[in-house]
A and B are shown apart, each in its own frame.
Chain A
Amino acid sequence: MASWKPNATVGKNESIGRRLFQRQGLKGAEDQKRPDRTIELYHFEENKDREVSVDRLGATSIDGKVKAYLNPRGHYEATRLHRANFRGWAVTKAKELQTPAKGKPLKIAASPIAAQNGDELSENRYHAHIDMLQEYDSHDMAVRLKYIFERNYHLEPCIPPDREGLFRWAARWFRTLWHRTTPTLGSTEPRR
């Protein structure tokens, strides 16, 4: 089955995910208890521009193929930008942002990213961004998103890099085995 091809317009039932990168807590506050159902403010902060990046994880729910596509990109971003571990996504429905029960609606715009300099992992076909409201600064926007997500979200965990590596290794091994046992169907050389 082909992977999901998202429309140019973000649908209200789409699963919108914000990537979560684990950071160390305050050194002197290791004895404090982290409250339940809390997403720290820094997960929603964007200092570069007035757009908050999100991933479109599926038309109505989490699409497994989309997640498999985005997962290595999350780990790649973690090592490249954040010096922190990628944990997964905080996921909510697009309509929670587009048509909130109270407060101004937020616009989600589809903005796929093409591969840069041949770097496959810099490509993101499912990228979108939330425009920051004109009257908001970075903290205002982060607080707004934090509370919208906290009200109705689920945590979609990432596939850890080691397990992802195991899957890839298993897939390669299976392909090799397939070609060895069925030489008449194709080349004896394993595909790369």
Chain B
Amino acid sequence: MVTATAQAYSDIRFRQPASEFGFEIPAAPVQEINPQPLVSDEKLGLISGPSGNAAKWISTIARRIQQSVPGPALGTDDNGWLDSDIAARALGFFDATSDVLPATEPYLYTATNGDLVAEFAGRHGKLTTVIGIAAVNSFAVLEGQIVKTTLNFPFDNVLKARQELMQITKQLHTGAHGIVEA
């Protein structure tokens, strides 16, 4: 009975030719590399979850934040303007975390005290991020329970916050399990 193993088969198939008739072994076809970007390359910004790249919405959001800062002649007393310090912190926060935030573009507005609020929608819930002078608080409600993540300025715990946000984003996309209420 023939009991050829995978290892043996592998040995036979890829053994180097010992004779001068090596040309009889067909050469492996050369794999052509497509220089065109793949569809998945172009959709990186749409992936719900950490992708390693900045989110697709980052430039739009940065523009909206920058355009909401009043010029030197105007104050922030009027509704609709954003304090320049909060805007700077928001831009820093999104630069550091956009790849681990949901892929959908956030809805921006200001809280009563002037903090910037960014609301993300996921398949299984929402993520509400409140960016203030001292910290960024992110709230998610997953299966009816609130999960809160705090990132203090200056970014002292950005890796931990990224991991937590990544986890929340995954749960918003796939559904939550075992969350403890804040």
Determine whether the beta carbon of A32 is less than 8 Å from that of B128.
Answer: no
Q: What is the CB-to-nearest-CB distance from A39 to chain B, in angstroms, rounded to a whole number? A: 10
Knowing A24-B80, A41-B128, say if A102 contacts B110 (CB, 8 Å).
no
A40's nearest neighbour on chain B, judged by CB, is: B109
Residue from A29, A144, A146, A147 whose CB has the most chain B CB atoms within 10 Å: A29
Docked Cα-Cα span, A10 to B67, in Å, equals: 46
Determine whether the beta carbon of A38 is less than 8 Å from that of B145.
Answer: no
Contact of B119 among A23, A26, A38, A45 (CB under 8 A): A38
Q: Is A101 an interface residue (CB 8 A)?
A: yes
Knowing A101-B144, A143-B146, A144-B146, say if A26 contacts B108 (CB, 8 Å).
yes
Instruction: Point out the residues of chain B lying under 8 angstroms from A118, CB to CB.
Output: none
The interface stretch among B12-20, B26-34, B58-66, B93-101 is: B58-66
Q: Is B137 an interface residue (CB 8 A)?
A: yes
A36's nearest neighbour on chain B, judged by CB, is: B121
Q: Is B159 an interface residue (CB 8 A)?
A: no
Interface residues of A in 6-64 (CB under 8 A from B): 23-29, 31-35, 38, 40-42, 45, 47
Instruction: Point out the residues of chain B lying under 8 angstroms from A35, CB to CB.
Output: 107, 119, 121
Q: Is B113 an interface residue (CB 8 A)?
A: yes
**By the criterion of a CB under 8 Å from any partner CB, how many residues of chain B are at the interface?**
36
Residue from B66, B80, B109, B121 whose CB has the most chain A CB atoms within 10 Å: B109
Q: What is the CB-to-nearest-CB distance from A108 to chain B, in angstroms, rounded to a whole number? A: 19
Instruction: Point out the residues of chain B lying under 8 angstroms from A38, CB to CB.
Output: 107, 119
What number of residue pairs across chains A and B have CB atoms under 8 A from each other? Answer: 91
Determine whether the beta carbon of B65 is less than 8 Å from that of A147.
Answer: no
Instruction: Point out the residues of chain A lying under 8 angstroms from B111, CB to CB.
Output: 41-42, 45, 139
Docked Cα-Cα span, A147 to B139, in Å, equals: 10
Q: Is B182 an interface residue (CB 8 A)?
A: yes
Can you show 21 pairs from A to B with CB atoms below 8 A apart?
A26-B68, A26-B108, A26-B109, A27-B81, A28-B63, A28-B82, A29-B67, A29-B108, A31-B64, A41-B111, A41-B130, A42-B109, A42-B112, A47-B112, A47-B113, A104-B181, A139-B111, A143-B139, A143-B141, A147-B126, A147-B146
With A26-B110, A29-B67 given, can you name 18 additional A-B contacts, CB distance below 8 Å? A23-B79, A24-B80, A25-B80, A26-B64, A26-B109, A27-B80, A28-B82, A29-B108, A32-B107, A35-B107, A38-B107, A41-B128, A41-B130, A42-B112, A47-B112, A139-B130, A139-B137, A140-B182
The residues of A with any CB-CB pair to B shorter than 8 Å are 23-29, 31-35, 38, 40-42, 45, 47, 83-84, 100-104, 139-140, 143-144, 146-147, 150
The residues of B with any CB-CB pair to A shorter than 8 Å are 63-70, 79-82, 105, 107-113, 117, 119, 121, 126, 128, 130, 137, 139, 141, 143-146, 148, 181-182
The 6 A-B residue pairs whose C-beta atoms are closest, nearest first, are A28-B67, A102-B144, A28-B68, A29-B64, A24-B79, A24-B80
